[in-house]
């Protein structure tokens, strides 16, 4: 859902807060480290497909570094030390196998995925910068996905314990982590639907009420997808919330601003949960894709909520970043 009042927001490009200043510096530091690591490890790669994939990753990192360096210069943020331009090694190390390099790169991508995800969630003041971080996140997940698939083909992936069922499944088996994430996501969505349905009865702002009802439809759609996967893999489901609920709460005690901030917190929690699911669901590609699709939807919702909340004056804004010149 998109609101026309947010399409052109000059104030969303000119200032940053203290958290966003840290995000720029931290992601630039992480990318510098990744570039140096990749430049070192490519000296020892034997597998042609892995070599091509690492080069593709490195090209993406270099592109992102240019953007981050530009933002750091624009907002006068002191950048971390840059890595060497190239790292060439003539010696060969027998222990530096392609499988070892794969695991090293895989773990590094996981760590950075958390950092980029948190940068998206915590970048509230500057809408343009948050959009940049969202593109970084999508690119990073794509790099991570391609690495997983290559690792499966080459037999380099660590296989997590499978979730045991009493009947044969039609598609690839799932791991215990994937079974837990399906259950956990259903439980979260049940809770969010119940709370949002409660809030709808008290909200005053018509646009905000429309956003809530639209959000309920999105939650219901995801619940149906998750319930089907739970049924297919014989995963027990948590207790469903009631279809309706009566309450004696005084309507004046539930302000729109309070309800807005609660929903924004839920959205941020869902982004975290989706990201963790993408990281931990490495056995079943279909399940991982489902959570990746959920993440894309959640990020759109979060972006609209932040913009709408700032328009209404409901979004809590952190201290601004100022560079004394």
Along the 325 residues of the chain, how does pLDDT read in single tens digits? 444 444 444 445 589 999 999 999 999 999 999 999 999 898 899 999 999 999 999 999 999 999 999 999 999 999 998 877 766 665 666 668 999 999 999 999 999 999 999 999 999 999 999 999 999 999 999 999 999 999 999 999 988 899 987 766 666 789 999 999 999 999 999 999 999 988 988 898 999 999 999 999 999 999 999 999 999 999 999 988 776 656 655 556 678 999 999 999 999 999 999 999 999 999 999 999 999 999 999 999 999 999 999 999 999 889 999 876 5
Residue 325 lies in a domain: no
Whether residue 204 sits in one domain with residue 124 = no
What is this structure's pTM? 0.88
Q: Which pLDDT belongs to residue 1? A: 44
Whether residue 287 sits in one domain with residue 200 = yes
Q: Which pLDDT belongs to residue 267? A: 94
Q: Quick one: which of 185, 109, 98 has its CA closest to 147? A: 109
Sign of CA dihedral 93, 94, 100, 102: positive
Residues 6+ apart with CB under 8 A from 68: 24, 27, 28, 31
Whether residue 136 sits in one domain with residue 195 = no
Residue pair 171/286 in contact (Cβ under 8 Å)? The answer is yes
Whether residue 21 sits in one domain with residue 146 = yes
- DSSP secondary structure letter of residue 162: B
Whether residue 52 sits in one domain with residue 124 = yes
Residue 60 lies in a domain: yes
Whether residue 70 sits in one domain with residue 126 = yes
- Supply φ then ψ for residue 208, to 5 degrees: -65, -40
The CATH number of residue 279's host domain is 1.20.1260.10
Whether residue 21 sits in one domain with residue 109 = yes
Whether residue 203 sits in one domain with residue 137 = no
Q: Which pLDDT belongs to residue 5? A: 40
Sign of CA dihedral 138, 142, 145, 147: negative
Whether residue 148 sits in one domain with residue 44 = yes
Q: Which pLDDT belongs to residue 107? A: 93
Q: Which pLDDT belongs to residue 241? A: 75
Q: Which pLDDT belongs to residue 223? A: 96
Whether residue 189 sits in one domain with residue 298 = yes
Domain with 187 in it: 176-312
Whether residue 195 sits in one domain with residue 121 = no
Whether residue 235 sits in one domain with residue 143 = no
Residue 47 lies in a domain: yes
Residue 88 lies in a domain: yes
Residue 103 lies in a domain: yes
Please tell me the total count of domains within the chain: 2
Residue pair 244/198 in contact (Cβ under 8 Å)? The answer is no
Residues 6+ apart with CB under 8 A from 72: 24, 25, 28, 78, 79
């Amino acid at each position: 859902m998109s609101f026309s009042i947010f399409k052109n927001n000059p104030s969303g490009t000119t200032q940053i807060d203290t958290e966003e200043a840290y995000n720029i510096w931290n992601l630039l530091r992480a990318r510098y480290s990744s570039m140096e690591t990749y430049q070192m490890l490519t000296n020892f790669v034997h597998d042609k497909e892995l070599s091509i994939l690492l080069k593709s990753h490195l090209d993406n990192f270099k592109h992102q570094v240019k953007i981050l360096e530009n933002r750091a210069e624009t907002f006068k943020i002191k950048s971390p030390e840059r890595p060497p331009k190239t790292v060439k090694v003539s010696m060969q190390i027998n222990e530096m196998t392609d499988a070892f390099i794969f695991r090293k790169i895989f773990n590094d991508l996981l760590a950075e995925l958390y950092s980029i995800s948190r940068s998206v969630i915590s970048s509230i003041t500057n809408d343009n910068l948050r959009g940049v971080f969202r593109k970084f996140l999508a690119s990073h997940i794509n790099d991570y996905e391609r690495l997983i698939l290559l690792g499966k083909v080459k037999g380099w992936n660590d296989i997590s314990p499978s979730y045991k069922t009493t009947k044969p499944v039609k598609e690839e088996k799932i791991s215990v982590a994937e079974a837990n994430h399906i259950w956990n996501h259903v439980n979260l969505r049940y809770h969010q639907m119940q709370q949002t349905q409660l809030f709808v009865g008290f909200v005053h702002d018509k646009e905000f009420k429309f956003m809530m009802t639209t959000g309920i439809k999105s939650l219901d759609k995801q619940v149906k997808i998750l319930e089907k996967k739970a049924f297919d893999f014989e995963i027990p489901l948590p207790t469903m919330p009631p279809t309706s609920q009566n309450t004696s709460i005084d309507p004046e005690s539930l302000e729109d601003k309070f309800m807005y901030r609660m929903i924004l917190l839920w959205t941020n929690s869902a982004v975290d949960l989706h990201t963790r699911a993408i990281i931990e669901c490495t056995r079943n590609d279909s399940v991982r894709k489902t959570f990746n699709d959920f993440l894309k939807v959640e990020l759109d919702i979060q972006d609209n909520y932040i913009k709408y909340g700032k328009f209404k004056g409901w979004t809590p804004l952190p201290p601004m970043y100022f560079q004394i010149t």
